[in-house]
Amino acid sequence: MTNILVQCGLYLVVLLALAKPLGEFMARVLTGDRTFLTPVLGWLERLTYKASGVDPKQEMKWTQYALAALLFNLAGLIAVYALQRLQGLLPLNPENLSAVSADSAWNTAVSFASNTNWQGYGGESTMSYLTQMLGLAVQNFVSAATGLAVLAALARAFSRRQVATIGNFWADLTRSTLYILLPLSFVLALALVSQGVVQNFGPYVKAQTIEKIDYEEKNERKSTQEQVLPMGPAASQIAIKQLGTNGGGFFNVNSAHPFENATPLSNFLQVLAILLIGAALPITFGRMVGDVRQGWAILAAMTVILVSLLGIAVTSEQAGNPILEKAGVAAEGNMEGKEVRFGIANSALWATATTAASNGSVNSMHDSYTPLGGLVPMWLMQLGEVVYGGVGSGLYGMLMFVLLAVFVAGLMIGRTPEYLGKKVEAFEVKMASVAILLPPLVVLVGTAIAVLVEPGKAGVANPGAHGYSEILYAFSSAGNNNGSAFAGLSANTPFYNAALGIAMLLARYWLIIPVLAIAGSLAAKKTVPAGPGTLPTHGPLFIVLLLGTVLIIGALTFVPSLALGPIVEHFQMVQGASR
């Protein structure tokens, strides 16, 4: 237990220590100030504007900002779709991989454009190097930058007074990519290469195994002494996959693959990268609105939820499966589906971090977790991924809960609620409600349809409560733009590719629209000075109120559904052990 506490504690200390400097740096970038990177990358920023005909000083109304974001993402989606469908004719395809099927290509294009990175395919057996680099990795950057841009627009709206504009989408997108995502990814990619993560353009390597391997293919027993080792430009893609909270693996088993996550140090760096930008953004927000205490309060609320749920995940996995223990076949704790080199603590920590963020990469198989251990990542996604959350999207999601919390507080004391000097009125509360309620609607309706129709049930690998959990997890992942899979579910089918694709589209873009509408509304308002009746939003009382809002909405919305899956499975496990 001491070992677990030290590992998880070290992680949190390093993460929170980096949050302040990175958060302040990002605030300078998003407000257009000069940073230490301006002399290095300023020319590239100016060249980008010049080449694309953008005037970065041209301010946009929220409607223009939203349309720019939507059309940019649409273009990216179509480009990734076309790359996959045409990859057989394109270069950088040493394995001669053929075109991806239409339904899988569409699902993947939606998935990467929306920062979800749900993967119904296996990377090494499906995608050419060109598709991985020019399609998927580029979307990893720009989808994360879209999230940062939307957050920047919202933060700007709080600090502006009676103006109709919220910034320039193209400038926010460019600055986020050039000054935040690219430099961090460059440094992380080099660190990963130093640990043995592959980065090359060579063909797959055939290795001779020491022992003969027996296997079955089409009901025929075969044996071989040859193993194919996939190669490719993995490190560069993995760096942004973690930093951009994308999560799509270069290889099928994601960060459990030794070429994608080679050593304990690469594991630590990657799990740190998953939450790094999300943890720093509340500080960025605090700086941008001129009161950094506001950012610390939000960060504190996020950290309380993260640490609490991390504790449940680690203790559940450490406790293991009592049925197996009773039968005398289990070692201490639940090691099924986990890499021995990472162990329980680093697997549970990763599972918690990846679903707290909208990351979705995995270094263990969540389907093999104990029922309560599996409930934690599922519920973290269902809370809306606001515990640090996705790059930009986590914080703007949390700010929707903040608006709701101040609205509830205002109702309690009979005053018009305010946040950061802006009156929160009916329009903002309606838009925040849309943003908060849409993902649960998508998740619950999607799950209900999938358990009712044959194509939905056909993908389930396990009967009963666990099979239900597999479907609920898939829609929770797609409907909150996470992208992790419970495994077990055969999701590369036309039904799941289409249904989960629609869920990802709705969860991403129909959240961005009300968030930007709130930004437009707030920017147009006066700022009112704090009075004696103003609720302080930087103290412990507000943190508790915010926690209550997030957890009560999360519980009310999803506990009935969780009761049919992981909760009943937990009781079945306990009952099985007592027989």
Partner 1 sequence: MADVVFLALTAAFFAASIALVHLFERLREHK
CA nearest 501: which of 142, 150, 117?
117
Among 56, 427, 455, 555, binds partner 1 (CB under 8 A): 427
- Give Cα 37 to chain centroid, integer Å: 27
Residue 243 or 516 having the CB closest to partner 1: 516
Residue 88 or 290 having the CB closest to partner 1: 88
Q: How far apart are CA 409 and CA 416, in angstroms?
A: 9
Q: How far apart are CA 505 and CA 439, in angstroms?
A: 11
Which residues between 495 and 524 bind partner 1 (CB under 8 A)?
498, 502, 505, 509-510, 513-514, 517, 520-521
Residue 431 or 546 having the CB closest to partner 1: 431
Residue 54 or 498 having the CB closest to partner 1: 498
Q: How far apart are CA 339 and CA 363, in angstroms?
A: 7
Q: How far apart are CA 43 and CA 29, in angstroms?
A: 15
What are the residues whose beta carbons fall under 8 Å from the beta carbon of 425, sequence distance 6 or more?
416
What are the residues whose beta carbons fall under 8 Å from the beta carbon of 205, sequence distance 6 or more?
228, 229, 231
Among 301, 431, 489, 499, binds partner 1 (CB under 8 A): 431
Q: How far apart are CA 399 and CA 159, in angstroms?
A: 14
Q: Given phi > 0 = left and psi -120 to 50 = alpha, else beta, which region is 303?
A: alpha
Residue 66 or 409 having the CB closest to partner 1: 66
- Nearest distance from residue 106's CB to partner 1, in Å? 4
Give the helix/strand (H/E) hosting 147: helix 138-159
Q: Angle at Cα 551 formed by Cα 546 and Cα 557, nearest 5°?
A: 130
- Residue owning tokens 């075969």: 222
Which residues between 94 and 133 bind partner 1 (CB under 8 A)?
101-103, 105-106, 110
Burial 442-451 (b: 16+ CB within 10 A, else e): bbbebbeebe
- The CA–CA distances, whole Å, from 133 to 105, 127, 417, 539 equal 15, 10, 47, 45
x-or-dash pattern for partner 1, window 520-549, by CB under 8 A?
xx----------------------------
Among 425, 458, 490, 574, binds partner 1 (CB under 8 A): 425
Contact 368, 334 (CB under 8 A): yes
Instruction: Tell me if 20 contacts partner 1 by CB under 8 A.
Output: no
- Nearest distance from residue 250's CB to partner 1, in Å? 25
x-or-dash pattern for partner 1, window 31-70, by CB under 8 A?
-------------------------------xx--xx--x
Among 74, 229, 445, 544, binds partner 1 (CB under 8 A): 74
- Nearest distance from residue 310's CB to partner 1, in Å? 36
* Window of 74-82, 283-291, 337-345, 357-365 that interacts with partner 1 by CB under 8 A: 74-82
Q: Given phi > 0 = left and psi -120 to 50 = alpha, else beta, which region is 254?
A: left
* Window of 34-42, 75-83, 167-175, 541-549 that interacts with partner 1 by CB under 8 A: 75-83
Among 25, 81, 121, 396, binds partner 1 (CB under 8 A): 81
Residue 41 or 498 having the CB closest to partner 1: 498
- Nearest distance from residue 70's CB to partner 1, in Å? 5
DSSP labels, 217-248: ETTEEEEEEEEEE--SBHHHHHHHHHHTT---
Instruction: Tell me if 430 contacts partner 1 by CB under 8 A.
Output: yes
Instruction: Tell me if 278 contacts partner 1 by CB under 8 A.
Output: no
Binding residues with partner 1: total (CB under 8 A): 32
**Interface ranges with partner 1 (CB under 8 A):** 62-63, 66-67, 70-71, 74, 77-78, 81, 85, 101-103, 105-106, 110, 425-427, 430-431, 498, 502, 505, 509-510, 513-514, 517, 520-521
